[in-house]
Structure 1
Amino acid sequence: MFKNGLQIGLMLFGMFFGAGNLIFPPSLGFESGSMFTPAILGFLLSGIGMPVIALIIGTFNPGGFRAEMNQKISPAFSLLLLALIYLSIGPLMAIPRTAATSFSIGVLPITGDGTLPLALFTIVYFAFAWWLAITPTKLLARLGKVLTPMFALLIVILMLTGLFSYTTTSLAEPLGKYSTSAFGTGFIEGYNTMDTLASFAFCILALNEMRRIHFHSAREHYTSVWMAGLAVAVLMGALYLGLALLGNHFPIPPEVYGDAHINLGAYVLSQSSLALFGPAGMYFLAVMVTLTCFTTTVGLIAAVSTFFYEEFPIMSYQKYATLVSLVSLLLANLGLNEIIKVSLPILLFIYPIAITIVIMTILNKFAALSRTGMRLTVAVAALISAIDILHQFAGFGWAGAVIKSLPLHESSLAWLLPVLAALVLSLFLPGKKIHGETELELH
């Protein structure tokens, strides 16, 4: 059971660790400067803590988060939220971002910029991703045992070589929001990895793999889930910390970090590879980044296609995979920075709701909660998230006043205490139920 858990964990790690996981830690490391420690702690909390907990909780229930939300809120809500999550981490944002990141960081330094090189690269990239994704039963063998170890080894080589070459913090004073709220800014950067949302999707693939394994008892299943979660946490944590430290130590000229059009994470990865390995560094980087993002692309195409095929079986899984690949191909040609710019408001809305559901699910394993109270809790998270978006992206003064009146707003956690208050209320409202571990079908 330990071996099964580790193999599934390696597969899931390969799916999780993609575009955002590569570019955000080096950027955070540089911009946080002397405030590196609180910034990376915030990033690890939202970028690893919540995704792994969500993955474990979702995989404990044979029906995944769909079954949990059906019980706690309503089938209509769970279908709507999961559809939004799958579209967000799928063809509308995360999948195109993986291809755009691969091109921007790995391929562009070799081919040069332009619409034609990007188009040719993404066509080949998504053709291979589609070919692997249309046979989901082979994901464990192809991703977990082959591609994931390859890209992880390349990242480790870059990290260790860079950390031995650059030993001091390159920026003494933190930049931007890191100077006033390093922990909260790092926490929000963890949002950008989309991994908590990806947990909602990948627990389906983990469950499918576990159904193919002959477990003799529920204990073996739960032990394998914990082992898979631990493997994901350790591997992601090590790479996050190493990449962030590389960004913290790598020197960037003021004219570069002062240019809003330059993605600092991509800059650190590309320039450090070139500085450390010479001309061969370009090809090293191209292989490393493309493999890293490619495994996530394959996993996301499979997860999104599985969800929509199970919920809306109007066409085959293979046709869904084809549709997801084609839409992602078209959107990937917008470019990396444009995709990130569009994705952030949507993430800031969905993420607190997703985290609320994870917290609520954990609590409900041990304490009876009112269904009315749980619905209220989710509504509170959604309302505060919507107000925060109106404040940050629409500039509404009243929205800013509301957010600033709430505790923890300086750490971008204005929703947290109201959500916890609603959860406490759920302990006392009528119609309380407790949902413990669900019986597993062992075969």
Structure 2
Amino acid sequence: MLKNGAQVGLLLFGMFFGAGNLIFPPSLGFQAGSSFMPAVLGFLLSGIGMPVIAVIMGTFNPGGFRAEMNHKISPLFSLVILTLMYLAIGPLMAIPRTAATSFSIGILPITGDGMLPLAIFTTLYFICAWWLSITPSKLLDRVGKVLTPIFAIMIVLLIIVGMVAYTTPSTAAPMGKYAASAFGNGFVEGYNTVDTLASFAFCIIALGAMKRIHFASEKEHVASVWMAGAAVAVLMGGLYLGLALLGNHFPIPQSVYEDASVNLGAYVLSQTSFQIFGTVGMAFLAVMVTLTCFTTTVGLIAAVSTFFAEEFPVLSYKKYVTLICLVSLVLANLGLNQIIQVTLPLLLFVYPIAISVVMLTIINKFVGLSKLGMRCTVTAAGLVSAIDIAAQFFHLDGAAALIQGLPLGDSGLGWLVPVLICLVLSLVLPGKISGESALDESL
């Protein structure tokens, strides 16, 4: 039981831990300064708590979150929101970002910046990803048992050596949004890992891996699911905290952190490796970052291709793999910062809806909830998120005033209180439906 759960946990951890998981914690650690603890706690809550709970809940249902949302909201809502999520974690953001991160942190210090080195690297990267992704049944052996332990050990080594070399924590005042609300902005920063959205996809891969394991009983199956979730939480939590501490301890020159074109997380990782290990550190970093991002790439390509092949069967699974690799290759050549900036509005819209669905799924496992109330809950999440995007990116004064008038609006969590109010209404409104027992759904 422990072995089965640990194996699936390693597979999930390898797929979860990718580009954003590497670059955002060090950046957060530096910018949070003396407000490190509340910022990192917010990040851990959204970056680990929600994804792990989501993947566990999704794995308990043989139909994943598609079945959950069909039952609780509507099949049309399920299809639309999952399509947006899979595009965000797929070719429009997360997949090209993994390749761009690998190049920016690991390869660029060796080859130098330029369109040709980036094009050559990303082409080779996606050829290898295509080869692994076309046989999803072999992911557990290739990713979970081989690649994941290698990159995890390398990251731990870098963190330990870095913490020994840089022992002084930052006492500087928090920067930017962290000065207003360290916890809230740490929580929102966790959105950028895209892991809660990825959990909607990865629970399907976890289900596939579970089906290939022969359990002696239903109880053993359920216990293995929880064990897998615990393994993911412990591994991700340890690395997140270590990377954030490294960023908090690492001295970044003022000229660097004031340069908007510099990704602070990438800078911390590359400079730590170079200053400690010298030229050997450049090769070490290149291998570590590429393996870390590559496992996520393979998992995402497999999950997204499976979804689109099932929901839009105009193409086969292998043809979707090929298409996603080609689109991701093109977008990866835009560069890391450009990818993050262009896709942030989509994340800010979809993430609160995803969190709301996870909350509804958990609560509905124990008590009946009104279908109308649950529809109102996801509508509130989407509506407030859309208004927030209008305020942040289109600078609409009316939208900004509405967001500032909401509790937690100044910290990026303006959607939370309206969602909680609708959740309470779901407990009292008529037309309640009961969620199926996790035990009933497990096999």
Scaled by the length of structure 1, the TM-score of the pair is 0.98
CA distance in 2, matches of 1:441, 1:92: 33
Q: Distance in 1 between matches of 2:322 and 2:221?
A: 33
- The Cα of 1:344 is off from its aligned counterpart by 1.1
Name the counterpart of 2:81.
81
1:21-71 deviation digits (Å, cap 9, x = unpaired): 000000001111111000000000000000001111111111100000000
Letter in 2 for 1:16: F
Unaligned ranges ≥5, structure 2: none
Q: Which residue of 1 aligns with 2:264?
A: 264
**CA–CA distance in 1 between the matches of 2:170 and 2:403?**
34
Give the residue type in structure 2 aligned to 1:136.
P
Q: d(CA) in 2 for partners of 1:135 and 1:403?
A: 46
Distance in 2 (alpha carbons) for counterparts of 1:171 and 1:150: 34
Letter in 2 for 1:36: F
Deviates more, 1:162-171 or 1:391-400: 162-171
Q: How far did 1:441 drift?
A: 7.1
Residues 12 and 232, structure 2, Cα contact 8 Å, conserved in 1:
yes
Residue 241 of structure 1 is matched in structure 2 by 241
CA distance in 2 between partners of 1:173 and 1:372 (Å): 46
Give the distance between the partners of 2:33 and 2:107, measured in 1 at CA.
Answer: 29
Aligned to 2:138: 138
Query: Amino acid of the residue matched to residue 354 of structure 2?
Result: A
CA distance in 1, matches of 2:426, 2:209: 35
CA contact (8 A) 1:352 1:382 kept: yes
Deviation at 1:217, TM superposition (A): 2.5
Q: CA deviation at 1:85?
A: 0.5
Q: Kindly indicate whether the alpha-carbon contact (under 8 Å) linking 1:61 and 1:437 is maintained by their aligned counterparts in 2.
A: no
Q: Quick check: 2:162–2:246 contact (8 Å CA) kept in 1?
A: yes
What is the alpha-carbon distance in structure 2 between the residues aligned to residue 315 and residue 342 of structure 1?
Answer: 28
Q: How many angstroms does 1:179 deviate by?
A: 1.3
CA RMSD of aligned residues (A): 1.0
* 1:258 to partner: Cα distance: 0.8
Does the alignment pair 1:433 with 2:433? yes
* One-letter code aligned to 2:65: F
Secondary structure of the residue that 2:297 maps to in structure 1? helix
Q: CA deviation at 1:171?
A: 5.1
Match of 1:284, as an amino acid? Answer: F
What is the alpha-carbon distance in structure 2 between the residues aligned to residue 298 and residue 433 of structure 1?
37
Does the CA-based 8 Å contact 2:180-2:411 persist in structure 1? no
Shift of 1:373: 1.1
Tell me the amino acid that sits aligned with residue 229 of structure 1. G
Contact map agreement 1:30 1:171 (CA 8 A) in 2: no
Distance 2:140 2:69 in 1: 28
Question: Could you tell me how far 1:317 is from its partner in structure 2?
Answer: 1.0
The equivalent of 1:64 in structure 2 is 64
Aligned residue in 1 for 2:155: 155
Cα distance in 1 for residues equivalent to 2:288 and 2:171: 27
Segments of 5+ residues of structure 1 without an aligned counterpart are: none
Which residue of the partner structure matches residue 201 of structure 1? 201
2:116 counterpart SS class: helix
1:391 corresponding residue in structure 2: 391
Q: Is the 8 A contact 1:370 1:431 kept in 2?
A: yes
**4+ aligned runs moved over 6 Å, structure 1:** none
Instruction: State the Cα distance separating 1:218 from its structure 2 match.
Output: 2.1
| Amino acid in structure 1 at the alignment position of 2:159 | M
Which residue does 2:422 correspond to in 1?
Answer: 422
2:181 maps to which residue?
181
Per-residue deviation, 1:290: 0.3
- The residue identity in structure 1 corresponding to 2:401 is A
Letter in 2 for 1:246: L
Q: Which residue of structure 2 lines up, in the alignment, with residue 327 of structure 1?
A: 327
Find the counterpart in structure 1 of residue 53 from structure 2: 53
Name the aligned partner's letter for residue 262 of structure 2.
I
Please name the residue that 1:348 is paired with.
Answer: 348
Rounded to whole Å, the distance in 2 between the matches of 1:159 and 1:374 is 43
Contact 2:184 2:413 in 1 (8 A): yes
Query: 2:428 aligns to what SS in structure 1?
Result: coil
**Aligned equivalents of 1:185 and 1:374: distance in 2?**
27
> Helix, strand or coil for the counterpart of 1:367?
coil
Equivalent residue, structure 1, for 2:367: 367
Give the letter for the 1:70 counterpart: N
Instruction: Give the 3-state SS of the residue equivalent to 1:169 in structure 2.
Output: coil
Aligned partners of 2:307, 2:217: CA distance in 1, in Å? 27
**CA distance in structure 2 between the partners assigned to 1:342 and 1:51 by the alignment:** 23
Where does residue 12 of structure 1 map in the other structure? 12
Secondary structure of 2:430's match?
Answer: coil
How many residues are paired up?
442
Q: How far does the alpha carbon of each residue in 1:326-357 deviate from its partner, in whole angstroms, 9 at most, with x for none?
A: 11001100000000001211101000000000
Report the Cα offset of residue 440 of structure 1.
Answer: 4.2
Q: Distance in 1 between matches of 2:213 and 2:238?
A: 29
- Provide the C-alpha distance between the structure 2 equivalents of 1:170 and 1:33, rounded to a whole number of angstroms: 5
Compared with structure 1, are the counterparts of its residues 103 and 171 closer, same or farther at alpha carbon in structure 2 (3 Å cutoff)? farther
Give, in angstroms, the shift of residue 436 of structure 1: 2.5
| Alpha-carbon separation, structure 1, partners of 2:184 and 2:12 | 27
Distance 1:88 1:175, change over 3 A: same
* SS in structure 2 of the partner of residue 427 of structure 1: helix
Alpha-carbon distance in structure 2 between the residues aligned to 1:173 and 1:429? 47
CA 1:11–1:118 in structure 2 vs 1: closer, same or farther (change >3 Å)?
A: same
> Aligned letter for 1:207?
L
For residues 85 and 345 of structure 2, what CA distance do their matches in structure 1 show?
13
Amino acid at match of 2:219: R
Asked whether the equivalents of residues 222 and 442 of structure 2 are also in contact (C-alpha less than 8 Å), the reply is no
Higher mean displacement: 128-137 or 407-416: 407-416
Q: Distance in 1 between matches of 2:428 and 2:42?
A: 32
The Cα shift of 1:213 comes to 1.4
Distance 2:148 2:13 in 1: 8
Distance of 1:323 and 1:171 partners within structure 2: 48
Q: Residue type matched to 2:125 in 1? A: Y
Call closer, same or farther: CA 1:206–1:192 in 2, change over 3 Å: same
Q: TM-score, normalised by structure 2?
A: 0.98
Q: Look up the match of 1:2.
A: 2
